[in-house]
Each structure stands twice: as C-alpha cells, then as structure tokens.
Amino acid sequence: MKFPYSFPLTRAFCLYLGQVVLLAGEAFTSIFSGRVRWRLVVNQIVEIGFGSQAVVIITGIFTGAVFTAQIFFQFNALNMSSAVGPVVSIALCRELGPVLTGLMVAGRVGAAMSAEIGTMKVTEQIDALRALAVNPVDYLVVPRAVAMMVSMPLLVGECIFFALTASYYVATQILNVNSVFFLQHMWFYTHSRDMVMAMIKGFVFALIVVFVGCQQGLTTSNGAVGVGRSTTEAVVISSLTILMINFFLTMGLNIIFPAGGRF
C-alpha cells in the first residue's frame, strides 16, 4: 500500500483527483439543495451551448466527410460500399461524435472557464464574492455545470447529425454510393441505443470539462502567468481525461448497450 504513495506524481494525481471530486460534490450538493441561479444558467447555456455550435458543426461535417471517404476507399475494394453508411453512423454515434465534441468543447469552453475564473481569482474578484457572502461554487461553478450538462448531449447530437449529413452527401454525391442503399443500411444497423450511448458519453465529458476547468480556475495563483498555466492545464487534463475515460465508458456501456446486434 505504501508503494504508490511514495511516488510524488501518484500523490499529486490523487490530490488533484480528490480536489476535482470534492468540487463536483459541492456543486451537486448545491444543485440538489436548489441553490441554482437560473438566470446565470441560461446565460451559460447561450455562452457554452449556443456559442459552441459553429465549432461542433464544422468538426462534425469534416469528420463525417473524411471518415466516409476513407471507409469507402477501403470497403469499395472489397465491393462492400453499401456498408459505408452503417459503419460511419455507428462509429460517429458510439465514439467519434462524443469524443470530438468533448475535445472541441474542452478546448473552447474548458479553456474559457479556467481563464475567466482564474483571472477572477488573481484579481481578488473571488474573494470579493466571498466577502459579499456569495459562495463562489454556487455563483460560478453551479451555473456552468448545469449549462454543460444540458448543452453537451445536445451538442453531441448536433455533431453527429451534421457528420451524418456530410457523410451522406460525400458518399452519394461524390463517391457515387447508391443513396437508397446508404440510407437503408444506415437506418437498419443504427439503433437508438447507439444514440443513447452518445448522449451518456456527452454528459460524462461535460462533467469532466466543467469540473476540471473550474478547479483549475479556482486554484489559480501567480497572476497572468498562473492564468495562462491554468488554462493550458485545463485543456490538456480534460482532453486526456476524456480520451482515457472514453475507453472505460465504451467497455462499460457496451455491456448495457451491446454493439453490432444485426451484423
């Protein structure tokens, strides 16, 4: 038992994880106690959800397009071009849609959260909130957390929709896949459980982005340099965590929502 704790990195990781979990616990306690400022939640939904749409749509369109092209090049050689639709669709729903949305939102929103809260920390604005008897977790973290939990599954859905639309266009208009085959097979092999999995992953990634971003912001020190460091760390930590957690989510969720039932 003593061995892992002797590593400074292991200890630092455990400490950091503990801080993020404590922050999440405090935020959820506030949410379930009704300490939610709905006006701020709406503002954050506009900022996070509405404001991230362009990034997510463009990511979806080009990922769907390039993925379709690559699958087509491989499958067409085996005379299986009609399988392009379902493969692209399932891959996007189960993996690419949520992961890419998570990474893009981590870059855009996680960084913004960390920078904004970090700047507030180093300019004593967080202390000013506390001095005015306003809990910073209630005021800063809870609205962002609620907004992320609402926005992320919708952004994931949006990303998948635009990716599949781009996939359909590339497959049928550029690569000459029969549109009836494409749609028919895509519809037949894609299940609602694939979409549910995407939404669950989106929700989990939202929690990672918001709590890592806010934790980084709230623990910022050393002025402008500290804000820069926190912002970078927020993006790096949340992106890597998304990629790692995604594997375990896939393995776990595959038990509940098994893939490939009709293949």
Instruction: Using CB under 8 A, pick the residue from 70, 123, 173, 254 that binds another protein.
Output: 123
Taking CB under 8 A as the rule, does residue 255 contact another protein? Answer: no
Q: Which helix (H) or strand (E) holds 216?
A: helix 192-218
Q: Which residue is listed with tokens 């995407």?
A: 198
Backbone angles phi, psi at 69, to 5 degrees: -60, -45
Query: Do 84 and 171 contact (CB within 8 A), yes or no?
Result: yes
Are 165 and 53 in contact by the 8 Å Cβ rule? The answer is no
Q: Which stretch binds another protein (CB under 8 A): 98-106, 124-132, 197-205, 230-238?
A: 124-132
Q: What is the spatial distance between Cα 199 and Cα 157, in angstroms, rounded to a whole number?
A: 7
Q: Which is nearer to another protein, 126 or 200 (CB)?
A: 126
Q: Which is nearer to another protein, 113 or 186 (CB)?
A: 113
Select 77 or 132, whichever has its Cβ closest to another protein: 132
3-state DSSP assignment of residue 237: helix
- Give whichever of 119 and 230 is closer to another protein, judged by the CB atom: 119
Q: Nearest approach, Cβ of 120 to another protein (angstroms)? A: 8
Stretch touching another protein by CB under 8 A, among 106-114, 116-124, 189-197, 205-213 = 116-124
Q: Which range, of 8-16, 120-128, 141-149, 246-254, touches another protein by CB under 8 A?
A: 120-128
Amino acid at 119: T
Sign for the CA dihedral angle at 190, 262, 96, 155 comes to positive
Name which of residues 131 to 190 contact another protein (CB under 8 A). 131-135
Sites of contact with another protein (CB under 8 A): 116, 119-120, 123-125, 127-128, 130-135
